[in-house]
Amino acid sequence: MLILAVAGVLSLLIWIVLWFWHGGFWRVAPLLPQAGSFASWPAVDVVIPARNEADILPSALPTILNQDYPGEVRVFLVDDHSCDDTSLVASRLAAESPCGDRLILAEAATRPEGWTGKLWALQQGLCASEKDCAPLVLFTDADIAHEKDSLSRLVTQLRQGDYDLVSLMAKLQASGFWSRLLIPAFVYFFAMLYPFRRVADKRSRYAGAAGGCVLLQRRSLQHAGGLQAISGALIDDCSLGRLIKRHGRPDGGNIWLGFTREVVSVRPCRDLATVWRMVVRTAFVQLHHSWLLLLATVFGMMLVFLTAPVCLIAGCWALLLPSGAKLGLGLVTLGVATWFVMVRTFYPMVQWYDQRKTLALLLPLAASLYTLMTVDSAVRFLRGAGGAWKGRTYGEGVSPE
């Protein structure tokens, strides 16, 4: 019981630090501002990697083709060796769109050794856009739908803030119990790892991006060494953000990461298995394939997220014992206080995803599941099945950056 009490005190102290001194990671901020007004708008080349996306394109591609953007827009959809009718569907959607002439289809060449699939497809899009290339490039996924003014708002943020890279955390689908619990928690944990406000602070070591929507200056990418510099990265978005922040300019680039309801994923995410597959692909990569870091992560997750409910249960049990009132009351107090702070920091994300307030109470459950996913990710890499995505498997040769 004494060890549990010490763990409870330590867990509460950690949560107080996270609440007040970790960049306000729990706030749903910053938000994408409204579009500004400029005398002239820079041209933008949009690059969309697409592998077996025939079913999802009708819900997403027209939203980028029909952007209400005052400047010139070209959309390069790179068919990454799809086994379905991705290119045919894209051509049909362009023919049906009033702005279909913006679409340019490109076929990805054979992926060379040392490149991950998505980054190679993005590189193929950049190569296809080299003729009359635009100064700005938008990387967006095939399942991301955009409001008509999202590109104007992104460019406004980039220009007004003098940023080299601006990225948005797309709002993910959350329907069904498991996704309603796990998707807000996924974004919450992402923000805990990469506090958005510190990402935008040039003095901070934190750097990241959300791969579904990344607008950047082409010259900054070129100055940083291009996508070749991160060609083997499986966690491509955060690797790109880190690359631009470190090398986008001679003295380091300026990057910004924010939230919006204007950019959403249309890919269904209804069950536990879908979220599980998404996480196990990169969780062990995030730990640099280190078993020591894995053990530390499991211990840390248990200490931070599970100590509160354990203290509460143990405290209630101790209160039933003849001589356990004092210890029981202390454990219950620790458990309630720690759980309160935990819920208080998780609630804004639950609210952002329009979920019931009571869902915030289940953060320990979500944390437990994500811990199991991380362990499973390590086991899969050990078996040579790590990094599996869209029919491809990447082993330990891939890197997080």
Residue pLDDT, tens place only, 37-47: 999 999 999 99
| Whole-number Å distance between alpha carbons of 71 and 41 | 5
What value does the mean pLDDT take over residues 63-90?
97
200 pLDDT higher than 80: yes
Q: Which strand ranges, in their side-by-side order, compose the sheet holding 255-265? A: 103-107, 73-79, 44-50, 136-140, 213-217, 165-171, 255-265, 144-146
pLDDT confidence of residue 181:
96
Give the global pTM. Answer: 0.95
Q: Which long-range contacts (CB under 8 A, 24 or more apart) does 352-358 make?
A: 352/28, 352/171, 352/184, 352/259, 353/171, 353/174, 353/180, 353/183, 353/184, 355/174, 355/180, 355/184
Q: Dihedral sign for Cα 235, 240, 242, 243, please.
A: positive
DSSP state for residue 165 in the 8-state scheme? E
pLDDT tens digit sequence for 306-333 = 999 999 999 999 999 888 888 999 999 9
Token pair belonging to 83: 């086994």
Mean pLDDT computed over 263-283: 93
Cβ contacts of 126-129, under 8 Å, gap ≥ 24 = 126/47, 126/226, 126/227, 128/76, 128/78, 128/104, 129/45, 129/47, 129/74, 129/76, 129/104
Q: What is the pLDDT of residues 352-400, one digit of tens each?
A: 999 999 999 999 999 999 999 999 999 999 988 766 656 666 555 455 5
Euclidean distance between CA atoms 5 and 311, whole angstroms:
7
